[in-house]
Structure 1
Amino acid sequence: MDRIPTVLMRLQYCVQEERKGWPTVPRLLSRRSAAGLDKRVAARRCLIGGLKERAILQQLGAKRSRTRRWLLRWPRALPLAIFSLISLITLVSIYAIELGQAQRDMTQLSARATAITAALERRANASSAYLRAGAALLATMEDVPADDFRRFVSELRLDADYRGAEGIGWAPVVRPDEVAEYNAFAARTGPVPFTLYPQPRGDAPFSAPVTYLQPDTERNRRALGFDMYSEPVRRAAMDEAWRTSRPTASEKIVLLQEGGEEAPGFLIYMPVFASSPEGRVLRGFIYSPFNADAFLQNALELEDAGAFGVRLYDGNPGEATLLASTLLDDGPVLREVRHTVTIANNPSVLVLSARGQTALTGLSMVTLLFGLLVAMLLMLLLRMLIQQAQEDEASLQRFEEQASIRNTLTRELNHRVKNTLANVLSIIALTRRRATSLEEFATGLDGRIRALSATHDLLTQSDWGATPLGAVVRAELLPYTFGEDQKVEMAGPELDLAPNDALSLGLAVHELATNAAKYGALSTPEGKVTVTWRALADNLVQVEWCERGGPPVPQERGRGFGTDLIERIVAHELRHPVELDFDPAGVRCVLRIPVRQRGEFAIRAGKANTPQS
């Protein structure tokens, strides 16, 4: 906008130069056609420049990638989606690792259970082999002397090779009519006197009292004389062994050796037969009592259970069938396997368990930490990309805005320069017709152009926005407001005018002030000029010029330039008629000026209040 005052200064310079010779003035006027051509050329260049800027913006817009549009459309959802996706992949990887580890642990657990099952069966088979050997030996003997039985057991070296068992015992078959004879025999040959108990009730075909039990210990003596056939669990095992002629283990019992303590155990029976003309005749049972916990610990010496818990059940697992356990209650059961163990023709169940707190393996922890780190880094990187895309988008929008502003400024400047030049040409034409000499022409033209320049300065200071009405009036009347005698009074509210309206008002006030200084109230010391303005409506203001105390205004006078300027040019620009009254007491002029909203004339009205993203 600084170009307009520059143009006006050049015009003033041309006027001052033309004072040197009147004939050169027509040359200035004769340049109208050339000026019009220059205006058309400038407008065409402005249009071409706008098209080029639009093409550049379209190219920049086309370069925006689809990815960047996604980043700008979902600036918060995309980082969360990436973080969730990487986290999901990490969790799936951890699940796969844990599943593979669980399968490996289960395989290891199953292999360990198989090894322990084999150890238990080997111990049971060794016991069965000893009992088979003892049964074969006793079957060849008519009687079973205590010394021979003790010698047989001692040669088995039970302390070294038969750990887990209480020993080997002999329980002969005693018929009901043989009880008295048996009691006499027991009192005579036993390590301590004992008798058969409980007394037979007559519902059993025979009794099977514990007669010998080696090694001879205090624990084993507690069982001497007990009729094992009188107890249902022992009887069932004996009958099964009698029927199958094979070593047979009993179900869960409590040995008499325990002295009343609830320590589960079991017995393995092997029947001993004698030959007779009628066939085989049952003579008794050779057996071995086992403490279940000692039996399990003895087997674990062969195959260590490691960190796993071992439980041995007599049949289906349950609290009532639990024989022995090494499982400590130190956490929930994570994994377990079950194997069937056959102990002397009696199926049992071995349960191997892994207990503890649920925790991720080392590889899973590393995978989790690595996955979270990658997810956070990718989320941070994507956030930085989004921020960069937002900054780029903001820069592009600012560039588009600046390009639009430049284009608008160019068009506006072209329009206003054309208007200003049109006003100047009109002023020159009117001044030329009214001037009688070169000096009069130059002086009048100089003052009017200076008035335009002063108003342009105000508009430039306001960035060609709203200009205060009072500032325009004060700028034109500034030369008449100095000194002790104040000849000008101005009053009115604060109102803003559009740029073109301010230029028109400045021209009108300049003409009125020039006329008053030459012929009116400002030409005498007693004269006074009053300028007041008030709002007639929200979109209309009235400015009143009134002169008093000056020379009487002649009623018969010629029509001057100022009258034509005000009534034609100013009235046309303001779009309202001007009331110009030449009262004898002083000139009175009333102008009505539209008050327009800023958006109707401000170049950047739509942009000024737009917040930057």
Structure 2
Amino acid sequence: MERLLAQKKLTTRWYERFPRGVPVGIFTLTMAVTVLSVFAIERAEYQRKTAQIEQVAQEVASGIERQSNVNVAYLRSSAALFATQQMVEAPLFRTFVRQLHLDGRFVGSDGIGWAMKVRRADVPVVEAIMRDGGVKDFTITSAPQTSVQGNAQQSVVPIMFVEPQSERNQRVIGFDMFSESARRSAMLKAERSGQPTASGRVALHYEGEADGQPGFIIYMPVFTISEDRPGGNLRGYVFSPFNAQRFLQSALDAERLEGAVVRLHDRGAVVDGKQAVALMAQTAPDHASRRKVTRQIEIAAHTFVLEVEAPATPMLSSISALTLLFGLLVATLLLVLARLLTQQAMEDRIALSWFEQQSSIRNSLTRELNHRVKNTLANVLSIISLTRRRSDSVPEFADSLEGRIRALSATHDLLTQSDWGTTPVSAVVLAEIAPYAQDEQRHLEIGGPDVELAPNDALSLGLAIHELATNAAKYGALSVESGSVKISWEMAGEDVARIEWAERGGPPINPDTRRKRGFGTELIEKIVAHELRHPVDLKFEPEGVRCSLLIPVRRRTDFAIRQGRDQA
């Protein structure tokens, strides 16, 4: 174990210094990588959706332009025919339009009409002719909001015929389109250019609603055959009204939209006297999507704005949500794993430190035990040597030696019970005096404060009490019933205790005995005094033996090897 501890580096590793910061850091780093991955996925998804919506916008714009070109082609052919006629009459107009077979091909339009330019002075004559031709109650009407300046125009352009002859188309017969500003602007532009021209956003009142449906009208000017260039005599306009919503729907492929919203705006609309971009039609209700693509499209020389908005999508795509969930799980697992590893490293560090302390304690205890065994053996050898010199026979030697060894053993038992810590003075005295205290005829008085002794000092005190008790039992106060022994102790200073042994009522002491030094006297005055590092005051007074010992009272840390370490 010592070899392994010596080979093991006990320096603290970096991840052990931050047992909580390392797992949190790993979790944060993993989640940061996950968030970056989700961001990259969402960005790629956004670019894909944007490219997809741009493609849809391009297809829708192409479809609208293609549809408008088809409608313009019909208007051109109609204008070419009517320019060759002296008079555009109802039978000719109806026959020609019906021969075009517009059903299913002229998609998005509400029909084709003929509006003739009429001088204002000829209005009554034209009304009479139309009535005679079969159009009952034909009357040229103007727009309600026509201004005074509009009434002062020299000409009017009323609607003469409209095909197909539906109920809603018949309601607009006789309406002077020149009286409304948006229509008038488109007709003047068509007259100047000689080309099909679309109006801006207009309200198609023939829908039967007060405000009308938003739409636009394409005008194709018709000039006299001899002056078919712009600037010649204008005979009228072949026109086609378009409901913006139906026109937009007819130009779309709903399956290709994939939920996208398509809007058609008039860029040149006039709202509250100001030019603005006005909504004309859209394919679905508005939804919260930030991916929009706009295209400018030309329909008969008029600019419209096409807007395509991608369908609303969840905050995160399915693959992003799965990536985020997987990253969260991985980050949590790594957090737990890192926490377990750092916790295990800390526990291993504590265990290694504990083993190191235990190894050091064991070595110290071994050295302490060797020292104490040597001291005990030295005491035993001294006791054997002195006992042998003072014994007259082998039995006497054996009895004396056995008693002194037993005294050491009794004190050793006390020290073992206290784990070789401090031992109370009272426990040492009672252990040595116990054989005599059991006799009721013995008069013993033992008392003093609580004083703790170090192990070696307790051994020395036990040996001294044993010798004094043995001597008293043989020759002194414990040998007769009238004798008494008083053992008391007190603190004689901050770090020293005084123990008094006093005999009374025993046999008189022979003066020759005072001068004769026995083995017990030598043991107390030499061995015990040497171990306690204080002189022993042993007196043989007429009243009995009196002995005073000074024993050092040391702090536990001066001799307790394991103090503090066991607590750690």
Q: TM-score, normalised by structure 1?
A: 0.85
Distance in 2, Cα, partners of 1:177 & 1:191 = 21
2:172 alignment partner AA: A
Q: Which residue of 2 aligns with 1:273?
A: 223
Q: Aligned to 2:298, what secondary structure does the other structure show? A: strand
Q: Which residue of 2 aligns with 1:16?
A: none
Gaps of 5+ in 1: 1-51
Q: Which residue of 1 aligns with 2:523?
A: 565
1:213 alignment partner AA: V
Does the aligned pair in 2 maintain the 1:176–1:202 contact within 8 Å? Answer: no
Q: Which residue of 1 aligns with 2:489?
A: 533
Mean Cα displacement is larger for which, 131-140 or 372-381? 372-381
Cα deviation, 1:536-580, whole Å, max 9, x if unaligned, reads 455333322121221123344212232232233323322333332
Distance in 2, Cα, partners of 1:190 & 1:531 = 156
The alignment status of 1:282 with 2:226, answered yes or no, reads no
2:237 alignment partner AA: F
Which residue, 544, 567, 572 being the options, matches 2:500?
544
The alignment status of 1:155 with 2:99, answered yes or no, reads yes
> CA 1:278 to 1:249, structure 2 compared with 1: closer, same or farther past 3 Å?
closer
The alignment status of 1:60 with 2:12, answered yes or no, reads no
The alignment status of 1:238 with 2:220, answered yes or no, reads no
Cα deviation, 1:240-282, whole Å, max 9, x if unaligned, reads 1112211111111101212323421111111111144797321
Which residue, 409, 420, 423 being the options, matches 2:376?
420
Q: Aligned to 1:395, what secondary structure does the other structure show? A: helix
The alignment status of 1:118 with 2:54, answered yes or no, reads no
Distance in 2, Cα, partners of 1:591 & 1:571 = 8
> CA 1:583 to 1:191, structure 2 compared with 1: closer, same or farther past 3 Å?
farther
Give the structure with the higher percent helix.
1
Q: How many angstroms does 1:178 deviate by?
A: 2.0
Q: Which residue of 1 aligns with 2:198?
A: 249
Instruction: Spell out the pairing of 1:568-583 with structure 2 (5 A cutoff).
Output: 568-583=526-541
Q: Aligned to 1:483, what secondary structure does the other structure show? A: coil
Does the aligned pair in 2 maintain the 1:253–1:266 contact within 8 Å? Answer: yes
Distance in 1, Cα, partners of 2:462 & 2:315 = 89
Gaps of 5+ in 2: none
Q: Aligned to 1:109, what secondary structure does the other structure show? A: helix
Q: How many angstroms does 1:201 deviate by?
A: 5.0
Distance in 2, Cα, partners of 1:192 & 1:255 = 23
Distance in 1, Cα, partners of 2:225 & 2:95 = 24
Percentage of matched positions with identical amino acids: 51
Distance in 1, Cα, partners of 2:320 & 2:186 = 52
2:285 alignment partner AA: L
Distance in 2, Cα, partners of 1:492 & 1:366 = 82
Q: Which residue of 2 aligns with 1:44?
A: none
Distance in 2, Cα, partners of 1:320 & 1:232 = 17
Does the aligned pair in 1 maintain the 2:38–2:324 contact within 8 Å? Answer: yes
Does the aligned pair in 1 maintain the 2:57–2:293 contact within 8 Å? Answer: yes
Cα deviation, 1:150-206, whole Å, max 9, x if unaligned, reads 111112223321232111111111123322222222322353322222398554342
> CA 1:277 to 1:159, structure 2 compared with 1: closer, same or farther past 3 Å?
closer
Distance in 1, Cα, partners of 2:82 & 2:491 = 141
Does the aligned pair in 1 maintain the 2:407–2:466 contact within 8 Å? Answer: yes
The alignment status of 1:472 with 2:428, answered yes or no, reads yes
Does the aligned pair in 1 maintain the 2:262–2:308 contact within 8 Å? Answer: yes
Q: How many angstroms does 1:327 deviate by?
A: 2.8
Q: Aligned to 1:565, what secondary structure does the other structure show? A: helix
Q: How many angstroms does 1:74 deviate by?
A: 1.6
> CA 1:267 to 1:579, structure 2 compared with 1: closer, same or farther past 3 Å?
same
Q: Which residue of 1 aligns with 2:159?
A: 210
Q: Which residue of 1 aligns with 2:38?
A: 94
Cα deviation, 1:101-120, whole Å, max 9, x if unaligned, reads 11111111111111111111
Q: How many angstroms does 1:392 deviate by?
A: 2.2
1:123 alignment partner AA: Q
Q: How many angstroms does 1:436 deviate by?
A: 4.3
Q: Which residue of 2 aligns with 1:404?
A: 360
Does the aligned pair in 2 maintain the 1:269–1:288 contact within 8 Å? Answer: yes
Distance in 2, Cα, partners of 1:595 & 1:118 = 111
Q: TM-score, normalised by structure 2?
A: 0.91
Cα deviation, 1:76-97, whole Å, max 9, x if unaligned, reads 1111111111111111111111
Distance in 2, Cα, partners of 1:594 & 1:458 = 18
Q: Which residue of 2 aligns with 1:225?
A: 174
Does the aligned pair in 2 maintain the 1:315–1:349 contact within 8 Å? Answer: yes
> CA 1:201 to 1:242, structure 2 compared with 1: closer, same or farther past 3 Å?
closer
Q: Which residue of 2 aligns with 1:18?
A: none
Q: How many residues align?
A: 553
The alignment status of 1:324 with 2:281, answered yes or no, reads yes
Distance in 2, Cα, partners of 1:324 & 1:541 = 113
Q: Aligned to 2:510, what secondary structure does the other structure show? A: coil
Cα deviation, 1:28-56, whole Å, max 9, x if unaligned, reads xxxxxxxxxxxxxxxxxxxxxxxx93x54
Q: How many angstroms does 1:597 deviate by?
A: 2.2
Which residue, 21, 26, 37 being the options, matches 1:77?
21
Q: Which residue of 2 aligns with 1:13?
A: none
> CA 1:347 to 1:538, structure 2 compared with 1: closer, same or farther past 3 Å?
farther
> CA 1:568 to 1:215, structure 2 compared with 1: closer, same or farther past 3 Å?
same
Cα deviation, 1:208-236, whole Å, max 9, x if unaligned, reads 11111111122112222121112111111
Q: How many angstroms does 1:475 deviate by?
A: 1.1
Instruction: Spell out the pairing of 1:245-394 with structure 2 (5 A cutoff).
Output: 245-259=194-208, 260-276=210-226, 280-301=232-253, 304-315=256-267, 321-329=278-286, 331-356=287-312, 358-394=314-350
Q: Which residue of 1 aligns with 2:130?
A: 186
Q: How many angstroms does 1:410 deviate by?
A: 1.2
Higher relative contact order (CA closer than 8 Å, sequence separation 6+):
1
Distance in 2, Cα, partners of 1:328 & 1:540 = 103
Which residue, 546, 550, 560 being the options, matches 1:588?
546
> CA 1:470 to 1:227, structure 2 compared with 1: closer, same or farther past 3 Å?
same
Instruction: Spell out the pairing of 1:429-508 with structure 2 (5 A cutoff).
Output: 429-508=385-464
Distance in 2, Cα, partners of 1:364 & 1:337 = 24
Distance in 1, Cα, partners of 2:227 & 2:245 = 45
> CA 1:320 to 1:486, structure 2 compared with 1: closer, same or farther past 3 Å?
farther
Does the aligned pair in 1 maintain the 2:262–2:309 contact within 8 Å? Answer: yes
Distance in 1, Cα, partners of 2:380 & 2:108 = 129
